[in-house]
Amino acid sequence: MNPKSTALLWFLAAILILAWSSASFAADKAKVAATMAQQAAKAYESGNYARASELYLSAFRTQPDAAFLYAAARSEHLAGHDAQAEDLYKRFVAAPGADPERVRKVGEYLADLQQKRAVGIAADADKAAKDDPRLSASLYLDAWHLAPARLQWLFLAAVAEQNAGELAKAKAQLQEYLSKAPADARERVQAEARLEAIARKLDPAVVSKPQEPQKSPVIQKDAPLRTSGPTPLIVANAPSAPTDRTLAWTTTGTGAVMAVSGLGLFAVTLSTLNQFNKDTTPVAGRILTMTHTQAQDRAASINTRMGISAALGGLGLVGVGVGTWMLVRTPARIALSPNGVDIAVQF
């Protein structure tokens, strides 16, 4: 056999040996990874999620299978290790061969983790609001960026910026909040009021324009007097706007309701008290209907209801008195004509 043929045979033999070794090594790694995965599953089922995560990650390092990453991420999530779970979820989504259905579930898990992280950041912002409003504003913005649906955090960031003296930032954030918040949002009215106050501070000239002086009417000489229409009445000592009696009537009505409620509760409690006295009447020196503890509890309950009825009745009477006083003290408006003859009294 010539040297070239011998070298070729040795080369082919080396390739076959290398291929066999690689296949044997891969089979061994798969077997080791499967054994680790079985041990991890047992730890998972027993509730030892931290140990399960370690074993699943070791199996993944032995044999890169996306399923091991997913199992490790779920273990960390159930163990309460949110940061580690979020990192492993993202690695699973980017791994080749990731199951599409599990990728969809991971999207939901990541959204829940981000929401939870946002709530924690917002809690830190609440704590920093008093002592460090700038830090509070930054934390509220971070929380809002993680959970854009929580627009109240954007509003609170603007409030913190306003408290820190950063009026331009507060104005921009309030404008963004108002552009995104629905018409019935709880903070909308307050946001509009704060935005108006900030605009007044930033540019007072735009908000309050100087009033132009009114021109005096020109009186023509020998101009005829207007006689068409009735002579207007001149109101003497009249208020600038009619007195609103709504508060007075509301106070009176509320007081009346409270007084009646107190009286009704007193009547019911009095009936209960009479029954209690009958039930606690000793028979042959002993009370047979209830124990000593039950009697004490019922007596305490009756005393509490008596106190409540007295408070309701007293407050109700005060409300009726205050409302009646408000109605009586409403000033009358007297209108006199220029000739001093016609008088109109309005209440």
How many helices (H) and strands (E) the chain has is answered by 12, 3
Residue 51: inside a domain? no
Residue 95: inside a domain? no
Tell me the pLDDT tens digit for each residue of 171-193.
Answer: 999 999 999 999 999 999 999 99
Q: State yes or no: pLDDT of 242 exceeds 70.
A: no
Enclosing H/E stretch for 270: helix 246-279
CATH of the domain at 148: 1.25.40.10
Asked if 267 and 190 sit in the same domain, the reply is: no
Tokens of 304: 């509490």
DSSP three-state, residue 79: coil
Q: State yes or no: pLDDT of 277 exceeds 70.
A: yes
Asked if 201 and 250 sit in the same domain, the reply is: no
pLDDT of residue 59: 92
Rounded Cα distance between 50 and 52, Å, is 5
4 or 277, greater pLDDT:
277
Question: Of 199, 196, 141, 132, which Cα lies nearest the Cα of 164?
Answer: 132
Asked if 255 and 188 sit in the same domain, the reply is: no
Q: State yes or no: pLDDT of 22 exceeds 50.
A: no
Residue 259: inside a domain? yes
Residue 164: inside a domain? yes
pLDDT of residue 23: 44
Using the 3D structure, point to which of 205, 232, 259 is the last residue of a domain: 205
Average pLDDT, the chain: 78
**Domains in the chain, number:** 2
Residue 4: inside a domain? no
Phi, psi (rounded to 5 degrees) for 207: -80, -50
Tell me the pLDDT tens digit for each residue of 48-58.
Answer: 999 999 999 99
Range of the domain at 332: 246-336
Q: List C-alpha distances in Å: 177 to 126, 145, 146, 189, 196.
A: 19, 13, 16, 12, 14
Asked if 330 and 252 sit in the same domain, the reply is: yes
Phi, psi (rounded to 5 degrees) for 134: -65, -45
pTM of the shown model? 0.47
Residue 68: inside a domain? no
The residue written with tokens 């504003």 in the block is 137
CB neighbourhood size of 21 (10 A): 10
Phi, psi (rounded to 5 degrees) for 181: -75, 145
Is the Cβ–Cβ distance between 336 and 328 less than 8 Å? no
Question: Of 39, 100, 101, 104, which Cα lies nearest the Cα of 75?
Answer: 39
